[in-house]
Homo-oligomer: A and B are copies of this chain.
Amino acid sequence: MSQLINGILKGDKRSISRAISIVDNNEPDSIKIIHKIFKKTGNARTIGFTGSAGSGKSTLIGRLAAEFHSLGYKVAVLAVDPSSPITGGALLGDRVRMMSISDEIYVRSMASRGAEGGVSRSLRNVIRILDAAGYNLILVESVGAGQLEIEISNVVNVTLVIFTPQTGDSIQAIKAGLTEIGDIYVINKSDLDGSAILYNIISDLIGDNDKKPVLKCSAKTQKGVKELAKSLVNLLDDKKYLSRERSILEYELRDIILNIIKEKSIDKIMKSQEYKELVNKILKKEIEPYNAALNFANRIIT
């Protein structure tokens, strides 16, 4: 264990990878690792990337990673993909390798399967490992959709939402609540038809929510990528986003507390004779499920 910890603190990639696997698989050593490195954390800032499949997210992240690297940041990229731990990371890895900066940018995918909140819990701890290893800018790609993107937006300093001028993206975005979670919005593939219209729609939609920036870029032609990187650096330096560290922690702490309580409650329910009797009573229509649950819950927690 102490070898692993030393490896992480020295920035040894093998140690980092092993530690991330341990945390991602929620192995018992996870808590020990975080315990040992916790005091060495606190320097990294995080950007979350969200957008539908086909929005060019991975390419854009690759470009931005290179851009941030040239600005002097020590960059790590995390692809969070609960459905498939391999694909996302491999794809991203390829993108970054193509730019021949793979040695200096750490790229990794994580699965974070499991219960509600599982993603944010393990993601927070994976970020701590990279932070302790000296990475000071961590780009988090959400490969999944829906709830996952909202979860990720709760654990990063800045959330970037990507749109592309393709069918229905603006409507999908509203439906998925994407126009509520972003701190900055990007119309990618700005070389395509329809990008100007989409820019106007998104600007209108966002405009009412405290004037968050809406930018255009093309990851393919690199147009606008430098400007986007600068805007992101500005946001990361903004007091408002720095102070988000507190709300991220509050969210995380609440999440861990609720998870511990849930596990304990399930244990109590499963061991309870009364619970089995309640089910019998419901089947006989002597009591309704809601009232039965309320009585039972009130005995577990007052």
List residues of chain A with CB under 8 Å of any chain B CB: 31, 34-35, 38-39, 42, 83-84, 116, 124, 146, 175-176, 245-246, 249-250, 252-254, 256-258, 260-262, 264-266, 269, 275, 278-279, 282-283, 285, 288-294, 296-298, 300-301
Contact = CB atoms under 8 A, between A and B. Distances in A.
B39 A285 contact: yes
Contacts of A261: 261-262, 265, 297, 300-301
A111 to B, nearest CB: 12
A282 B245 CA distance: 11
Contacts of A289: 124, 249, 252-253, 256
Contacts of A260: 293-294, 297-298
A283 B38 contact: no
Contacts of A253: 275, 278-279, 282, 289, 292-293, 296
24 contacts: A35-B291, A38-B285, A38-B288, A39-B285, A42-B285, A83-B175, A83-B176, A84-B175, A116-B116, A249-B279, A249-B289, A252-B289, A253-B289, A254-B266, A254-B275, A256-B289, A256-B290, A257-B293, A260-B294, A260-B297, A261-B261, A261-B262, A261-B265, A261-B297
Given A245-B283, A260-B297, A261-B301, A31 B290 contact: yes
Contacts of A257: 265, 269, 293, 296-297, 300
A258 B266 contact: yes
A252 B275 CA distance: 12
A279 B247 CA distance: 9
A254 B262 CA distance: 11
A296 B260 CA distance: 10
A172 to B, nearest CB: 9
A34 B282 CA distance: 13
Contacts of A297: 256-257, 260-261, 264
A260 B124 CA distance: 27
A34 B290 contact: yes
A264 B83 contact: no
- Determine which residue in A83, A261, A288 has the highest number of CB atoms from chain B within 10 A of its CB, and name it: A261
Contacts of A288: 34-35, 38
